[in-house]
A = this chain, B = another copy of it.
Amino acid sequence: MDSKSCSNDMEGEAREMDTRSLSASGRGSQYLHKVGTPPKQNLLREFTARVKETFFADDPLRPFKDQPRSRKLVLGIQAIFPIFEWGRSYNWKKFRGDLIAGLTIASLCIPQDIGYAKLANLDPQYGLYSSFVPPLIYAFMGSSRDIAIGPVAVVSLLLGSMLSNEIDPKNKAEYRRLAFTATFFAGITQATLGFLRLGFLIDFLSHAAIIGFMAGAAITIALQQLKGLLGIQNFTKKTDIISVMHSVWGNVHHGWNWQTILIGVSFLSFLLVAKYIGKKNKKFFWVPAIAPLISVILSTFFVYITHAEKKGVQIVKNIEKGINPSSVNQIYFSGEYLLKGLKIGIVAGMIALTEAAAIGRTFASMKDYQLDGNKEMVALGAMNVVGSMTSCYVATGSFSRSAVNFMAGCETAVSNVIMSCVVFLTLEFITPLFKYTPNAILAAIIISAVAGLIDIPAAILVWKIDKFDFVACLGAFLGVVFSSVETGLLIAVSISFAKILLQVTRPRTAILGKVPRTNVYRNILQYPEAVKVPGILIVRVDSAIYFSNSNYVKERILRWLMDEEERVKAACQPEIRFLIVEMSPVTDIDTSGIHALEELHRTLGKKNIELILANPGPVVMDKLEASKFANLIGEDKIFLTVADAVSLCCPKQAEQV
């Protein structure tokens, strides 16, 4: 009884027998399934499909399909201003959640804003300004429900460092103008990337690099705070750890102020304890959230009654009262600072985007809603453009405040509006009260805030999963800590790119063997029980074959062959007569790849070895035929599976395994 009739006789399961067993009965002469060539596509359609997949992968126009015109208009407005979509189902229950969340993040953001503004070398009110206008704009245009908008530590540090490379921060007016210019172009960059659907560009900063970069930035920021925490007057302007430590120890005898240290360290301990409580029990998330405001109130009161400012404790002194003044005419639209602002804006805008995108995605996946990354970018860009005209500097989503927002039960972007209102009231009425707030408190608040950016377990996980990723992570970290934020960023991006180039230049290849009692051929390194078929070498190429790797792939296959021939000779086994290239992972091939295959075929021909291909994909099959390579090696040398190919080569041997 041959296998064919057997399979017809049998029940359900037996029908599952694969081509190999069916075709083997015909000794490789008739195969049921040829390798398919996809139907020829119209060039324009192919191109359109490719463009769509690249830039509109998320199919943003899907809801517009087959809708009447008026509905399309409504949908269009809703697409630009999502508030008109979710606003219709807004209710009091949601408002309750948003109110609590909004008040919580407001209490957190006010002291943080003042400190972050100092990090960017700006006056404290600019931090508050940036927590007033941008969240309002975002509430109308953004689609994340959990993100908390405002100035953030890393962007503030980056901006402060890049701006002061161009203009001395003591030159306040010009420095501020350049800051607004950079903010304007950061917004333009973000909106443009979103509008041109180039959002995927921010994916080129790998997750691992971000972990290292953030940790480095956190340490740099914390080190900067030693100035406020220790009450040092003459502090270095550099941000690298060596200059800072030098500055700190150089001032140990004259520069440290014990009253400042006392206030700073005690409140830092308080903040860290509050943080620990919040971490231990998620129910007490509000403890670390309001601790900063309580510290500010207590310490301000304390300084006020003890007149500690006369004993060398530095205080905020003056925060301008009133809401954001216009800054439209302060932006440099010409002159040498235009280009500098543009450059700084692009970098700051991209980093701000990276942070916002990471936050948006995390919470969207937690609450299971979809975020259109490109639309988000347009929203963030618009918000920063408007911000740059109303005295704000670059705002984005904050890690720490967004987490608090989420835990406080926010429902929509209305929590940002609530926060914005509180900041408005603060600017209008309360700022004079901050006069006696000691700088040490702000330093303590920033240190406790950025501590959360150091994610050691994540770094350990990166180490465990991918060593190369860890190098990117470490490189970014060391670059930031020992040189500057920009250097760290450059290292992170370079290593990320190097990894991509390495991937496309040196794809993996594997020798396949037959997994016993199956028809499956797998990598013999992964499946030690898999056995090679005598007289046949089966190689799998694990990547598209492109100009960047075609030579390598060809030479690597020949080297596998050479090794195998040596082994076979030494073991007195039958000579290699067939080389089967498993093409399943080869998703595409270009002209250089075809050339490499042709050269491989020619070299093998001289050695009297037959080249056989298994399972080329649709695109590859198309190109093999277009280039006549399929004719060159013979259409009958291309098989659906490795098993089919082996059964043609030497049916006897295949069965013996």
Q: Is A336 an interface residue (CB 8 A)?
A: no
A519 to B43, CA, bound (A): 34
Q: Decide yes or no: A469 and B590 within 8 Å by CB, A365-B603, A501-B500 being known contacts.
A: yes
A225 to chain B, nearest CB (A): 30
Residues A54 and B590 in contact, CB atoms below 8 Å apart: no
B10→A16 contact, CB < 8 A: no
Q: Does A20 contact B (CB under 8 A)?
A: yes
A203 touches B464 (CB 8 A): no
The bracket for how many chain A residues form the interface is 35 or more
**A643/B16 in contact, CB under 8 A:** yes
Please name all residues of chain B whose beta carbon is closer than 8 Å to the beta carbon of A383 when the two chains form the complex.
none
Residue in A15, A37, A594, A654 with the greatest tally of chain B CB atoms within 10 Å: A15
| A24–B18 CB distance below 8 A | no
B2, A13: Cβ atoms closer than 8 Å: yes
The prevalent SS among residues of A at the interface is helix
B527 and A43: CB pair below 8 A? no
Minimum CB–CB distance from A351 to chain B (whole Å) comes to: 16
**B518 contacts A32, CB within 8 Å?**
yes
Please, which residues of chain B bring their CB within 8 A of the CB of A502?
Answer: 54
Q: Bound complex: CA of A361 vs CA of B592, how far in Å?
A: 13
From 511 to 532 in chain A, residues with beta carbon under 8 angstroms from any chain B beta carbon are 515, 517-520, 522-523, 525-529
A 1-41 binary contact with B (CB < 8 Å = 1; else 0): 11100100011111111111110110000001101111000
Bound-state Cα–Cα, A58 to B505, Å: 14
User: Would you call A206 and B519 a contact (CB within 8 A)?
Assistant: no
Whether, in the assembled complex, A618 has its beta carbon less than 8 Å from a beta carbon of chain B, the answer is yes
Interface of chain A residues 150 through 209 with chain B (CB within 8 A): 200, 203-208
Quick one: which of B19, B37, B496, B508 contacts A547, CB cutoff 8 A? B496
Other A-B pairs, 19, CB within 8 Å; known A208-B590, A503-B588:
A2-B11, A17-B17, A17-B518, A18-B518, A18-B520, A19-B518, A33-B515, A53-B506, A203-B505, A206-B591, A207-B550, A207-B595, A465-B591, A465-B594, A465-B627, A500-B546, A503-B504, A526-B617, A585-B585
Closest 8 CB pairs of A and B: A206-B547, A585-B585, A526-B618, A542-B587, A207-B592, A12-B655, A18-B519, A3-B13
Task: Tell me the A residues contacting B by CB distance below 8 Å.
Answer: 1-3, 6, 10-22, 24-25, 32-33, 35-38, 43, 46-47, 53-54, 57-59, 200, 203-208, 361, 365-366, 368, 373, 461-462, 464-469, 496, 499-508, 510, 515, 517-520, 522-523, 525-529, 542-544, 546-552, 555-556, 559, 584-585, 587-588, 590-592, 594-595, 599, 602-603, 606, 615, 617-619, 621, 623, 626-627, 640-641, 643, 647, 654-655
